[in-house]
Amino acid sequence: MSFIVAFAVSLLASMAVAGPASAGEGGHRTWHVQVGSESSDQEIQGMAFLPSEIFINERDTVMWHANAAEIHTVTFLAAGQPLTDFNPFDPNELGPVGGASYDGTHYYNSGIMANVDVPGFPAVKDYSLTFPREGNFTYYCLVHGKMMKGTVHVRDRGTDYPYNQGDYNRASRVQAQSIIRDGEQLDESLAEQASNHKVMAGGDDGVAMVMRFVQPTVTVHRGDWVTFANTGTGAPHTVTFGNEPANIFAPSGDPTDFSGGDLSSGILLPGAVFKVKFQTEGTFKYICALHDYMGMVGKVVVVD
């Protein structure tokens, strides 16, 4: 069952119990959306806003809450602005842009959001916008692009709401559980591709991300090569031995003749591989410099 179908089925089931919410005569409402999702050990990270679509009225407010250790953004692009690859050096992508009331045409950005303190990023936990005018407004996570988008549907003031917050929460829980199951299946698939000479450097399928090196500990002989492969579709990683370089995005060291010390792949984009030839016996620990705080670490044991 697709996530859109699962979401719709859950909402319909909720409506059978609760029914639509009346706009009533009271003040404006604040609605809540979760940014991302994750397994209890942070290994599986979801690439979705929960809920991904929400129906509100003019002058209502939406508050987004960081719900994962992986970094995300809530970003409304300006009219005609293309969605481009995430630039970690652009302050307009890293930090908040725009006011508290969305005008429907300009660039608004939450800045980096995460539910933990992320090394190197000034992450925020919550972000809110008020919507004073009607329209259908699509937003994205700049880090994960078109794979992670949401829509705020704003209707005329006083319109009855098709769903209440409880409906959205129940449907979001169903979707979050589906994302975890998808990530677990992806993890199993990666394990089938891994070996002592091939480590899967994470993985993602547009729904879930596996934030682990799959077969993180391998044993090889001196003079052997180990290939680190990122077979995902959106999430970058690094393979970094020794000290993290000042610029974690650029490669450093010689992977063709590694005897210990500092070595890094730099950013390992989806579809890329990093091959290392181990010339000395020993145990060599490595990390993903982007996701080690989630537990994305490993080691290569080299024997004679």
* pLDDT one-digit tens code per residue, 213-267: 999 999 999 999 999 999 998 889 999 999 999 999 999 999 999 999 999 999 9
- Our CA angle for 230, 232, 238, nearest 5°, is 35
pLDDT of residue 303 exceeding 70, the answer is yes
Q: Choose among 275, 297, 294: nearest CA to 286.
A: 297
User: What amino acid occupies position 286?
Assistant: Y
Contacts of 229 (CB under 8 A, 6+ apart): 193, 198, 199, 200, 201, 272, 273
3-182 to CATH, choices 3.40.50.1970, 2.60.40.420, 3.40.640.10, 3.90.1300.10 = 2.60.40.420
Token couple for 106? 């300009």
Percent of the chain topping pLDDT 70: 91
pLDDT of residue 23: 56
The Cα 200–Cα 214 span in angstroms is 5
Give span(s): CATH 2.60.40.420, the chain.
3-182, 194-303
Q: Choose among 165, 147, 139, 199: nearest CA to 60.
A: 165
Task: Answer whether 149's CB lies under 8 Å from 137's CB.
Answer: no
Percent of the chain topping pLDDT 90: 85
Contacts of 219 (CB under 8 A, 6+ apart): 196, 300, 301, 302, 303
194-303 to CATH, choices 1.10.260.40, 3.30.460.20, 2.160.10.10, 2.60.40.420 = 2.60.40.420
Token couple for 296? 């994305």
Alpha-carbon Rg for the chain in angstroms: 22
Q: For the whole model, what pTM was predicted?
A: 0.87
| Residue with tokens 């980096």, as numbered in its chain | 112
Question: What sign has the CA pseudo-torsion 267, 270, 272, 274?
Answer: positive
* Helix boundaries (H) for 60-144: 91-94
CB burial readout 184-198, b (16+ within 10 A) else e: eebbeebeeebeeeb
Task: Answer whether 198's CB lies under 8 Å from 229's CB.
Answer: yes
pLDDT of residue 208 exceeding 90, the answer is yes
Give the model confidence (pLDDT) of 261-294 as tens digits. Answer: 999 999 999 999 999 999 999 999 999 999 999 9
Give the model confidence (pLDDT) of 113-158 as tens digits. Answer: 999 998 877 889 999 999 999 999 999 999 999 999 999 999 999 9
- Give me the count of residues in the chain: 304
Helix (H) or strand (E) holding 130: strand 126-131
